[in-house]
Chain A
């Protein structure tokens, strides 16, 4: 049977899209053919958005959240409490906590959680920089808001040990978050309650 594959630019986009989390080869094909038929401004707008995402964003040099300027909007806001740091796994978690409007302190984004299987150790996360921030003073409480997954718990336990020598209060989000769940999927009310009910470690 003669077999004709799709043109290379088509198969390339399908392959690139299927590498994204949550997108299988079927969805990737559907998206690709949708973009083929779409108006120029939609398809090229997407390409432009991708380019800008990479070119115009960076990590905040203080908290490692994603930002356009240095430092980020939270870190440079004088109205926010300086003595409180909420430690999260990803920038999405910052958005989730911000949405609750129940928190007005600082953040620290680890960019992951400890997972030896995936080769992620403490040195691969922004843990040293967190300890630097605490060491430089002015911090009274560190809230460990890593996900209630095994890896998130292990990361919190490791951080707790590391922070034990500093004169700061270390607290953990209250249970009530679905175990095994991700912070970014918790609804705002649940998350706000978990913040209020955080307990000292």
Chain B
């Protein structure tokens, strides 16, 4: 019955898309890798630190242009390949995305380039190509849709708000390039405005100079807030259902509470806004016309100008938003057990899969890094049923024995060892000595 629920979730007419070929050159511990990937589930197994996670990271990077760990991009380059004296100057990731029913395929490429500047310094830059044509970074987005499951995802619940904003931004950017452009513009306006506030603080500028930046910030900010609200509304509905019906046996109800920073403090929130405890901010927001929201953000900026000048920083706007996860009305970060947090995150991630499919009409590729070990039998089985239902899923595990025989029979198995990958569709090795059929 559980599997039935997931099948219904994913069975609407969605185009089949899968990552058919992945090549890496000087990407982390891979000097050179050329890997064909089938449809359906693929299990990458092997001891730790052999490069399993790096493969998922590479695929995620090709899909989102971001590393899942917010590390500096220059660290992605395998600086001293082959024990060579000279540092490597170019790294390369490519993906061949195959689409059913459509002629041709998408060829995606990211080049990581280190330019020598002067005698000592170097500069890092990226080049992106789609079907052999150089494009801007944002134009890569949407060509390969993925949802990544990491064991540390659970930390999102109690992480600083910036992490949850990053989650919202990366999720939206993958399917909505307009959001991505708006976000990048917003961040530039924010940086300019903050620089101006510091100049004002030091008496090197006049308050009248703020007005163009206030106007832009409000206009772009309102657009970001409304898109985030729409995403959260959708995710909440889907995640709530999965969480209540499938993951907690009808005992716990999950809510996503969006806390936009559109007013200086709670006292100044619009009187029509429902109280924070009901978590209905999203519903209220989605009824506001974008230009009115921008106007109210603009007024809020006017109102907090003095404080902002003193602090030399912009204190209002979506760069200060938060998203809280509530279970049965209580904030998971403060009151939830680790198990509850894990269950909520699993529901959220599965909701993301369905949301993405709804937005793009393409089933995303699922990437799961060692996540099964963290889950109990029931949730593990539920997650595996959605993995099997996906067009393509790539899983890593140091211990393949935690998978059911039924699942292993359907999965393509590959062993990852020292940056090399070998197909291993024989019997699963239990421990180090025994070989037995599962």
Interface residues of A (CB under 8 A from B): 24-25, 114-117, 119, 121-122, 150-151, 153-155, 157-158, 161
Contact = CB atoms under 8 A, between A and B. Distances in A.
Contact of A117 (B191, B204, B208, B209): B191
B116 A157 contact: no
Contacts of B215: 157
B115 interface: yes
A150 B116 contact: no
Contacts of B101: none
Given A25-B117, A25-B118, A116 B212 contact: no
A155 B205 CA distance: 15
B117 A116 contact: no
B189 interface: yes
A116 B116 contact: no
Interface string B183-194: 001001101110
A116 B188 CA distance: 11
Given A116-B193, A116-B199, A154-B192, A24 B209 contact: no
28 contacts: A25-B116, A25-B117, A25-B118, A114-B209, A116-B192, A116-B196, A116-B199, A119-B199, A121-B199, A121-B204, A121-B205, A121-B209, A122-B209, A150-B189, A150-B216, A153-B212, A153-B216, A154-B212, A154-B213, A157-B212, A157-B215, A157-B216, A158-B208, A158-B209, A158-B211, A158-B212, A161-B208, A161-B212
Contact of A161 (B117, B185, B196, B211): B211
Contacts of B116: 25
B195 interface: yes
Contacts of A154: 192, 212-213, 216
Interface in B183-235: 185, 188-189, 191-193, 195-196, 199, 204-205, 208-209, 211-213, 215-216
A151 B208 CA distance: 16
A116 B216 contact: no
Contacts of A25: 116-118
Contacts of A116: 192-193, 195-196, 199, 205, 209, 213
A45 to B, nearest CB: 29
A197 B185 CA distance: 25
Nearest to A158: B212
Nearest to A118: B195
Contact of B195 (A117, A122, A157): A117
B205 A115 contact: no
B66 to A, nearest CB: 21
Contacts, number: 49
Given A114-B212, A150-B216, A24 B115 contact: yes
B202 to A, nearest CB: 11
Closest 6 interchain pairs by CB?
A157-B212, A116-B196, A116-B195, A154-B212, A117-B195, A158-B212
A181 to B, nearest CB: 12
A154 B213 CA distance: 7
A114 B199 CA distance: 13
Given A25-B116, A114-B212, A154-B216, 9 more contacts: A24-B115, A25-B117, A116-B192, A117-B195, A121-B204, A150-B192, A157-B216, A161-B208, A161-B212
Interface in B173-189: 185, 188-189
Contacts of A150: 185, 188-189, 192, 216
Nearest to A15: B118
B184 to A, nearest CB: 10
B54 to A, nearest CB: 31
Contacts of B208: 158, 161
A157 B185 CA distance: 16
A111 B117 CA distance: 29
Residue in A25, A122, A154, A161 whose Cβ sees the most chain B Cβ within 10 Å? A154
A150 B189 CA distance: 7
A158 B193 CA distance: 14
Contacts of A117: 191-192, 195
A167 to B, nearest CB: 21
A21 to B, nearest CB: 14
Nearest to B193: A116
Nearest to A122: B209
A116 B198 CA distance: 9
Contacts of A157: 211-212, 215-216
Contacts of B189: 150
Contacts of B209: 114, 116, 121-122, 158
Contacts of B205: 116, 121
Contacts of B192: 115-117, 150-151, 154
Contacts of A115: 192
B203 to A, nearest CB: 12
A141 to B, nearest CB: 21
Nearest to B118: A25
A161 B215 CA distance: 12
Nearest to B192: A116
A150 B115 CA distance: 28
A61 B347 CA distance: 68
Contacts of B211: 157-158, 161
Contacts of A24: 115, 117
Contacts of A158: 208-209, 211-212
A121 B115 CA distance: 33
A114 B117 CA distance: 29
B11 to A, nearest CB: 40
Contacts of B193: 116
